[in-house]
Each structure stands twice: as C-alpha cells, then as structure tokens.
Amino acid sequence: MMKHFSSNLSVLFSLRTVPVLTLMVFLLPVLAGLLSTILPAFGYLPVIGQVSFSTTAWTELFAHPALPSALFASVSSGIIATFLSLILSLSFVAAWQGTNSFKKVRQLLAPILAIPHSALAIGLAFLIAPSGWITRSISPWATGWDRPPDVAIIHDEWGLSLILGLMIKETPYLLLMILAALDQSQAKQRLKLAKTLGYHPVAAWIKSVLPVIYKQIRLPIYAVLAFSLSVVDIALILGPTTPPTLSVLVLRWFNDPDLSYRTIAAAGALLQLLVVIGIIFIWWITEKIIAGLSKTWLTNGTRSLAETPVRILSKVSLNSIYTLFFGSLLVILLWSFTRRWRYPDFLPSVWSSQSWDRNIHNLMWSSSSTLTIGLISSFIAVILVVACLENEKRRGKSAGAGALWLVYFPLMIPQVSFLFGVQVLTIKAGIDASWLAMIWCHLLFVLPYVFLSLTDPYRQQDDRYIKVALSMGVSPTRAFWRIRLPMLLRPLLFALAIGFAVSVAQYLPTLFVGGGRFSTLTTEAVNLSASGNRRIIAVYALLQALLPLLCFATALALPNVIFRNRRALKGH
C-alpha cells in the first residue's frame, strides 16, 4: 500500500509531468483570474451582493466622461512608443551592425534591462520636469528662467513623457531580441553576400536580414505592445492625469472606497484586454500589408536606403536614450543624498544621508520582502524551467512553436485585466496577503522571462558530454549534476538574475495580491512618486535599481571566480 502510494507520488513529481505542472502553475491563475474578472464585469460579484447578470457595468463604463480620453491616451501612447522603439532599434542595428559603437550598445543592454522601469520613470521625471536637472543645468544663464517654467512636462496631456519613458525601457529590450534573432539566422553571411552584390549597409540589412528575423521578433513586439498599452506604474509616474490612461483609470475604480465601482472596474479591465487584442490584431494586419507591398520593392534592385540619414538619426536617438537612462540613474543618486537643492543650482548645496537614516526601518522591511519574493520566485522558476528543458533533452523532443505562444501568453494579457480576478481567487482560497500568494503571483511573470533566457543555452549544449559521461558508467542523475549544471552555470545564474529583476519590477501584482500587507521597494517608490518629496522617492528608487544591478553583477562575476582557472568557461 505504502509502496503503491510512493510510486504514485514519484510519477506525480517525475520529470515527465513537469512541463504540464509548469504550464498549470502559470496559465491556470491567469485564466482563472481572467474569468473572475469577466464575471463581475457582467454584474456577478457576490461580495457586494450582486449575483444577477446584467450589462449595467458596461453601460456605466461607456457613459463615464473620462473614458474616451483615457482610451485615446492609452492607445496613442502605446502604439507610438512601440512603433518608435521598434523603428529605432531596427534602424540602429541596420546601420551599425558589426561596428564598435554597436558592441558598446550591446554591452550596456543587460544593466539597462536590469533596472526596474518604475525606477527609470522616476529618474526621468527628475530629469525632464520643469524644475528637473536638465532645466537646472541650463538655467538661468541660457534660458533666463529664475523659477521653473510653468509647463506640464511630466503628466502632460499628450502622454509624451510617458512615451519617452516607455521608449527608454523598450528600445533596449527590442535590441536584445533582435540580437538574439540575428545570432540564430546566419545574418552575418546574408549581410556579407548582399554587400558583395553592391548593397549599402542599411538597404542590405532591411532587404536581406529583416524579412528573415521578423517572425522571430514578432512575439517580443506584441509583448512590448501589450505592455505599453496597459502599463500602470510608468503611467502613474509620467502619464497624463486628468484623465489618466485606461489602465490607471481602471486601477482607480478598483481602489475606490465605493464598492459599486468594482463592476465598472472589471468591465474596464476587460475593455483593456479587448483593446490589447484589437491593437495586436491591427498590428498583425499591418505587418501583412507591409510585407505584401514591399515584395516588389525587395527585388527592385535599389541598393541604398537613406543610408546617411538613417545612420546619423539612429545613432543620435539611441545615444540620447542611453544618456537619458544614465542621467536618470545619476539624478536619483544625487537626490537620495540631498539635504538642500534649490531650483536653479546645478548640484545640491547641502548633502546628507538623512533620507536614508530616517527611512532605514521601512527601507529594510521593503528591501527584505523584495529580496525574499524575488529570490524565491526566480529560484523556483529556474528549477521548473530546468526540469522542463531536461525533460526535453531526455525525451529527445523539444517543445514546438506553440509552446512559445503559451510562454508569451501571460506577457500579452494586461496585468490589470486578470490580477483583480486573481485577488478575488486568493481571498476565496484564504491565501490572500500571504507569502505563498505573493511568490506565486510574481512567479507568473518571472517564469516566462527565465524560460526565454535559459532555453537557447540549454538546448544548444553539446549532449555528447553527457553521452561520454554515461558511457563511462555514470548515472544520468550524476551526469546532470556534475556535468550538465556546472557547464551551464553562467546561463543559469543569468536566468536567475533576470527572474529577480523581473520580480523586483512588479508593481501591480504586489499591490493586488499583497492586500496592503506587503510593500516592496517598487510599490513604495511608485506610491511615493505622487508625493513630490524627491529626496525620499530617490532613496527607494535607487535601492530598487541597485538590487537587480547587484544581482546581475554577481551573476556575471561568480562564474569568473569559480572558473578562474578554466579558460574555456571564462567570460569574454
């Protein structure tokens, strides 16, 4: 009896069941969360005594005066930010692939991606606000502004600063995705060939490489699009306020003390989902149209494509983005050690660590919950992903393209559309505001990124090392621990760092599932961002940026220490 039971258990936890288990871990909550958002949107929310189905919520939603401009702000900023980021990253790669400036840009991608977007948005606000560092650096001597000019740069009604904030984060991400696609598609040879046929760099790249790699970067683009259309934290910090973007409006309704707003919020969350689906669909149609229209252009023989303008524009724009990025980090650092920094001064006049000292208790508490949630969720994610990939290796079959869609699925569903449902479910299950719910909820977003970062190195590892070990009489388990994992130490640690960075950046999951009991550096920083107290905001934003950076630095340095006498495994 006991034996039977334990063999059942071992089947349950065997390698074969891990892929299904993993899918359930992150797809079920998303689907269940969506469903629990759909029901209230149609009037079913027993908590507030509504159990009959109706479309009242929708009528109220569409009658809401703020809706049209909120919708417009979301759609326009989302599309423009994605479009510009894509054009910029594509044209930069097209014009500069293989050059030294290209290498430099590539090296800086990891640290940029490590920084949580809300920290970046906060830094950007400190930089470009009317009283920000940029104005200070040129006032009053160049501008004559003795006091900050009275224009709304942050929270501007056109969403321009929101678009800029999104671009700083998304251009590097798309660059990274393009680079990964290039490595897999013999792009170098294609490019060389096109150049021997007399094509200039930009034309050669657009005509011979882009059509091949586009299908590999399609899903990342959709993920970026979905993110931009529905982002909450950046929109809270930089986006328009009266009215805000749709996702922020929905969040407000969810948080409204008047519980009857919950059903309108649910309907709004669903509308947000429909917007994302609709825009992705339109984008997809546009892709088809452009592909169709460009068919003759591809083979018409023109061998240059605005070469010089593209080269100059892409480099200037990308440099600006990098400068804004590093300026944002620097200005956060300055503010966090500022006691007194009056308006037109270029630097603080009195420095101090009082912002740190006075908040030390709360900083420690939010840092430790950030660390705990981030490390545990990314560690679980790495274990699950390794088990899935090892199962693939042993069964000799790798998951198809369909699996990739599943992985991207939670990244394309707006967080605000299903997290309310997840919240309802955790309350029902009695695990709301628990560590379990927090870590699980972060895992939903950590898993896809860990999977994406670990898949290629894992699949590409030369299996003959394992075969050699087996042929020497070593068991598969021992070969896995002694050969497979140590040889993959570098990508494993890197995946862990990525997972951690993703977890640190989460705002909405902590807010919805934490039930107010959990505060991470990110929730504190975003919630404080409206306060206007730059010194305190800066302290949280800086720590928020530092933790993932430290994690990445460790992930890069540790293998170099461990393998200091192993040339083949040392970093380049």
Partner 1 sequence: MVMNNRTFQQNSTSSAPSSLHLQDLKLSLRGEQLFTQLSLSVRPGEIVTLMGPSGCGKSSLLAAISGTLEKDFSLEGQVLLDEFNLTNLPPEERHIGMLFQEDLLFPHMSVNENLGFGIPAHVKGKKERTALISQALNDAGLSEFGSRDPATLSGGQRARIAVLRTLLSQPRALLLDEPFSKLDAELRARFRDFVFRHAQANNLPTLLVTHDPDDAQSTGGKIIQMSDF
Binding site for partner 1 (CB under 8 A): 395-397, 462, 464-465, 467-476, 479, 482-483, 486-487, 489, 563, 565-569
| Minimum CB–partner distance for residue 208 and partner 1 (Å) | 30
Cβ-based nearer residue to partner 1, 158 or 465:
465
> How many Å apart are CA 565 and CA 431, to the nearest integer?
48
Q: Cβ(442)–Cβ(506) under 8 Å?
A: yes
Closest to partner 1 by CB, 358 or 394: 394
Q: Which is nearer to partner 1, 163 or 389 (CB)?
A: 389
Which of helix, strand or coil describes residue 520?
coil
Are the beta carbons of 484 and 467 closer than 8 angstroms? no
Q: For residues 108 and 507, give the distance between their C-alpha atoms in angstroms, rounded to a whole number.
A: 25
* Closest CB 468 distance from partner 1, rounded Å: 5
Question: Minimum distance from CB of 458 to partner 1 (Å)?
Answer: 16
Q: Whose Cβ is closer to partner 1: residue 84's or residue 483's?
A: 483
Q: 301 or 473, CB closer to partner 1? A: 473
Nearest residue to 343 (alpha-carbon basis) of 101, 133, 560: 133
In whole angstroms, what is the distance from residue 365 CA to residue 482 CA?
Answer: 38
Q: Which is nearer to partner 1, 436 or 485 (CB)?
A: 485
Nearest distance, CB of residue 77 and partner 1, angstroms: 48
Specify the DSSP element, H or E, that contains 365.
Answer: helix 360-395
Nearest approach in angstroms of CB 518 to partner 1 is: 39
Please report, in angstroms and rounded to a whole number, the separation of the first and last CA atoms in the chain: 56
Tell me, what amino acid is at 497?
A: A
The single-letter code of the amino acid at 386 is V
Q: How far is the CB of 552 from partner 1 (least distance, A)?
A: 22
Q: Which residue is associated with the tokens 């208790």?
A: 361
Least Å distance between CB 480 and partner 1?
Answer: 12
Of the candidates 352, 509, 532, which has an alpha carbon nearest to the alpha carbon of residue 426? Answer: 509
Q: With respect to partner 1, which residue has the nearer C-beta, 433 or 470?
A: 470
CB neighbour burial string for 450-466, b if at least 16 within 10 angstroms, e if fewer: bbbbbbebbeebeeeeb
**Nearer to partner 1 (CB atom), residue 344 or residue 486:** 486
SS (H, E, C) 184-253: CCCHHHHHHHHHHCCCCHHHHHHHHHHHHHHHHHHHHHHHHHHHHHHCCHHHHHHCCCCCCCHHHHHHHH
Q: Which residue has the tokens 């569409």?
A: 62
Nearer to partner 1, 3 or 464 (CB): 464
Q: How far is the CB of 540 from partner 1 (least distance, A)?
A: 40
Q: Which of 33, 88, 12 is nearest to 445 (CA)?
A: 33
Toward partner 1, which CB reaches closer, 130 or 476?
476
Joined tokens for residue 246: 């749709």
Q: Give the span between the Cα atoms of 397 and 400, in whole angstroms.
A: 9
| Both structure tokens of 517 | 């009991």
Q: Are 228 and 246 in contact (CB under 8 A)?
A: no
CB of 489 to partner 1, least distance (A): 8
CA distance 139 to 294: 48
Please say which residue, 1 or 568, places its beta carbon nearer to partner 1.
Answer: 568
> Please, which residue, 464 or 572, has the CB nearer to partner 1?
464
Query: Which residue pairs, CB below 8 angstroms and at least 24 apart, start in 301-306?
Result: 302/203, 303/197, 303/198, 303/199, 303/200, 303/203, 304/199, 304/200, 304/202, 304/203, 305/200, 305/202, 305/203, 305/206, 306/202
CB 269 within 8 A of CB 250: yes
Min. distance of Cβ 464 from partner 1 in angstroms? 6
Minimum distance from residue 454 beta carbon to partner 1 (Å): 18
Quote the least distance from Cβ 395 to partner 1, whole Å. 6
